[in-house]
Structure 1
Amino acid sequence: MPKKFDEFKLNRQLLNAVEDAGFTEATPIQEKAIGPVLSGQDLFGIAETGTGKTAAYVLPVLMQLKYAQGQDPRALILAPTRELAMQITENVKLFAKYTDLRTVVVYGGLGPKTQIEQIKAGADVLVATPGRFLDLYLAGHINPKYLKFFVLDEADKMMDMGFIGAIHRILEVLPRKRQNLLFSATMSDLVQKIAGDFLKHPTLIEVAEQATPAPSVAQVLYEVPNFKTKINLLQHLLKDDEAFKRLIIFCKTRLVADNIYRFLERRFGTDAVRVIHANKGQNTRINSINSFREGNVRILVATDVAARGIDVTEVSHVVNFDVPIVVEDYVHRIGRTGRAFAKGDALTFCTPAEKYYVGKIQKLIRQEIPVVPLPREVFVEETPYEERQAIARAIDEQRRKEDPEFKGAFHDKKHAVPLADKRKQRKTPPWKKKKTKR
């Protein structure tokens, strides 16, 4: 029987905020984490995305902070992306609404002036991305002397994005006496290394097998020959307005995302679709996510910059237009649907060049993704010559990764004539021939 929030040692202000948010029963990660965090233990939590892990650390940290005090932050929460940092801040403010605790979020992509002013006005909880935290600290705007709580969220994504050096620098400036909390969806070697660097005899909490998709998400795989057939399949699926009521389409590059966005904009109108990726301005990205969250926009096209930290309820479908090359991102992409145990669908489009990564994903999640046939109404396009060549090269490269001795279609022939011999075989032009004296 799941625990109710009023069974934890939380004060009335937090319980009222939890009740206002519509939460009654704790999720498994909340049930296992809140008690140890309240008792002051370091914690290493492994939980799949969408399980409510933010509340699992925010509630007990707020409980221990109690009320506003001083000007300098007492809790630091690090997140890998701006989107996740903003999402965490929304959660902190949601649960702290009946307290006087102050929350400030700092991240790159915007000028620091407003963020500096907010910090100077006083903060109890500071949510930050690593780069911006270091910039503001080195410029003398953040005083870490009074930090009692340090939270590292989405640690696996931090490692993927190359933040390990920045995190070590941040650890050097934090007070030694503090409580440390680390949360990750997977336990890679790098995550274990960073955990060993700052967690002291942590309580390990694992609420699901590593990199296990939420059971509430139904996964299917469509095998398609080329890009144009992917477009035809997407167009066919989106005809079903009732089923595909709110969806996120993930692409591997900004170029593909922009192309898909323009196609969908022509089909469904500007009001129905938005696109977010690293080239979009911060305000544009925030407005697009908010419009999608509020239900004003039906389709959100995104690169993996948005795979984590977008907490939008009632996302009916996630479409992997491209199979992710960083295979761990698959779990985080499909975790955008089926949030908090609701039902969701994840569809993946796979060309012959992407089957290699599907195999890696299936190995990671320890399950096979069911392959479904293309609907009869979907027109299968002929693969253009350039795309055929690109697919063949990609497959060669993949096979070479697995077997360095492999010689593919695009290698030099084994018995090719050496360049020096070729030169010898060439006929000497008449004007270079030496004239013999008679």
Structure 2
Amino acid sequence: MSLDKLKLSKPLIAAMNDAGYISAKEIQAKTMSRIIGGQDIIAIGPEGCGKTTTYVLGVLMKLKYSTDEAPKVLILVPDGERVEAVIAEFMLLSKNRNLRIIGLYGTGGMDDDIQVLLDGIDIVVATPTRARAVYLKLGLNLNRLQTFIVDDAEVIVKQGMQLPVAELARSAGKVQHLIFTTVVHDKLNLMIDQFMNFPTTIEVEDLGDSQAETHELLLYHVPNFKTKVNLLNLLLRDDEVFDKVVVFVNTRLTAQKLGKSLHAAKPGAVAVLNPLFFDEEGFDHIEDFKESPEARVLIVANEGNAGIDLSGIHFMFHLEVPELKETFLSRVVKEGDEELVAITFATDLELAEVRKIEQSMGKKIDVMDLPEDLVIDKVAKAAAIKTKKEIVEGPKGGGAYHEKKESNSKTHNYGIGQKAKMTMKKKHG
């Protein structure tokens, strides 16, 4: 799409061209008119799809020259590195205007920052905790604020900074709210429901033109780790289908704990690769596991176990999403003729990593329905009931809840056993 279609000012178009932008991104095409028009929006898109540039352009289009001391725009980001990156993008695209902008982050003294704010500022880019601290010191005036932006919102939630975001948003009163995130989930909705009023949700996928050839990929979205363990125990009851499986976790300590949490019908059925302690059930090499008739489940920690040979293994579980997407991709990208089903369990806070993996593969992972007889962890169950009640009655502070995009909805209702048997039947048929 041509940049002209965004209806930006001529100076902004020139700045975009000088910066090397030759066409508009999909997210810019879908959101720019709404941002300029003053609508509240939740913009969802993968890393690199142009979210930051989108709101920078929107702010620069709307911001009028003023000598007011109080800022007009507050942008919250997860850390100091992002603060500097956002400021750099503003400076890149605003070379034709005298822009007053400040970054607030860190934990040191605030006197210098407060003095700059009192002298007059247009845009504040800050971490939520730093912005709240300066606000409580009466150094950040939100009375004239027009636009309240949260970028990398899913990271802010993952870092537990929902409270300062919500407090600052409520203190700002009636302003335009813009949320930019790679994924939306219950924890994020609980934060933005406190201050947003029925926003428009816009989502882009931007999965790329090419798709990697992978093994069969399935995804279960679960509330917490305990429920993951319950789900794994439930699925592994079908020893006819899951006769030999590998379960990946992130650390050796988690592998050790999981080994004690899985139900083993027979001695030696569950083992750990390279266990932490000599008296634990385990193997030093995966080949020993493959050759052992008693061993059925092998738990493998990602740390210290790179390049595991999965030949002859038909099922693997990622109980935790690997910290590096390359670790996941190295196991699921198809290289030979062997068939393998890769099943991933992800919580709300892991969904962002799943989206990065999908972007790298160029395709979505099929989402499975949770079994009806799955025991949901009690704490998560209570939170889910509360969330559901708030949605039915209507959220008190906002209304950011939105229906899932069709492409993100569950794609089928096959039980895992049926799906696995179909895959194996196709393999051996």
Q: What is the TM-score with the length of structure 2 in the denominator?
A: 0.52
Residue 46 of structure 1 corresponds to: 44
What is the rounded CA distance, in whole Å, between the counterparts of 1:103 and 1:119 in structure 2?
9
Residue 99 of structure 2 corresponds to: 101
Task: Answer with 1 or 2: which has the greater Rg.
Answer: 1
**Cα contact 1:150–1:180 (8 A) shared by 2:** yes
Aligned pair partner of 2:170 in 169, 172, 175? 172
What SS is found at the alignment partner of 2:103? strand
Is 1:359 equivalent to 2:344 in the alignment? yes
Give the 3 Å change call, closer, same or farther, for CA 358–115 of structure 1 in structure 2. Answer: farther
What is the rounded CA distance, in whole Å, between the counterparts of 2:168 and 2:359 in structure 1?
40
Matches within 5 A, 1:288-307: none
Unmatched runs of 5 consecutive residues or more in structure 1? 222-251, 254-319, 335-344, 351-356, 371-401, 405-438
What is the rounded CA distance, in whole Å, between the counterparts of 1:28 and 1:125 in structure 2?
26
Give the 3 Å change call, closer, same or farther, for CA 47–346 of structure 1 in structure 2. Answer: farther
Is 1:191 equivalent to 2:188 in the alignment? yes
Give the 3 Å change call, closer, same or farther, for CA 368–182 of structure 1 in structure 2. Answer: closer
What is the rounded CA distance, in whole Å, between the counterparts of 2:68 and 2:175 in structure 1?
17
What is the rounded CA distance, in whole Å, between the counterparts of 1:16 and 1:56 in structure 2?
16
**Cα contact 1:13–1:99 (8 A) shared by 2:** no
What is the rounded CA distance, in whole Å, between the counterparts of 1:107 and 1:369 in structure 2?
31
Residue 66 of structure 1 corresponds to: 64
Q: How far off is 1:144 after superposition?
A: 0.8
Query: Number of matched residues?
Result: 257
**Cα contact 2:318–2:344 (8 A) shared by 1:** no
C-alpha deviations, 1:219-273, integer Å up to 9, x for none? 999xxxxxxxxxxxxxxxxxxxxxxxxxxxxxx89xxxxxxxxxxxxxxxxxxxx
Residue 246 of structure 2 corresponds to: none
Give the 3 Å change call, closer, same or farther, for CA 403–124 of structure 1 in structure 2. Answer: same
Matches within 5 A, 1:100-249: 100-174=98-172, 176-208=173-205
Give the 3 Å change call, closer, same or farther, for CA 349–108 of structure 1 in structure 2. Answer: farther
**Cα contact 1:21–1:94 (8 A) shared by 2:** yes
Q: How far off is 1:14 after superposition?
A: 1.5
What is the rounded CA distance, in whole Å, between the counterparts of 1:8 and 1:133 in structure 2?
32
Q: How far off is 1:122 after superposition?
A: 2.1
Unmatched runs of 5 consecutive residues or more in structure 2? 216-249, 252-305, 308-316, 332-341, 362-373, 377-429
* Residue identity opposite 2:163 in structure 1: G
Moved over 4 A (4+): 212-221, 323-326, 345-350, 361-370
Residue 25 of structure 1 corresponds to: 23
What SS is found at the alignment partner of 1:127? strand
Residue 224 of structure 2 corresponds to: none
What is the rounded CA distance, in whole Å, between the counterparts of 1:111 and 1:37 in structure 2?
35
Q: How far off is 1:182 after superposition?
A: 0.6
Identity of aligned pairs, percent?
29
What is the rounded CA distance, in whole Å, between the counterparts of 1:214 and 1:192 in structure 2?
28
Q: How far off is 1:126 after superposition?
A: 0.5
What is the rounded CA distance, in whole Å, between the counterparts of 1:220 and 1:106 in structure 2?
44
Q: How far off is 1:86 after superposition?
A: 1.6
What SS is found at the alignment partner of 2:193? helix
Residue 421 of structure 1 corresponds to: none
**Cα contact 2:107–2:130 (8 A) shared by 1:** no
Give the 3 Å change call, closer, same or farther, for CA 73–348 of structure 1 in structure 2. Answer: same
Residue 34 of structure 1 corresponds to: 32
Q: What is the TM-score with the length of structure 1 in the denominator?
A: 0.51
RMSD between aligned residues: 4.1
Q: How far off is 1:16 after superposition?
A: 1.8
* Residue identity opposite 2:120 in structure 1: G
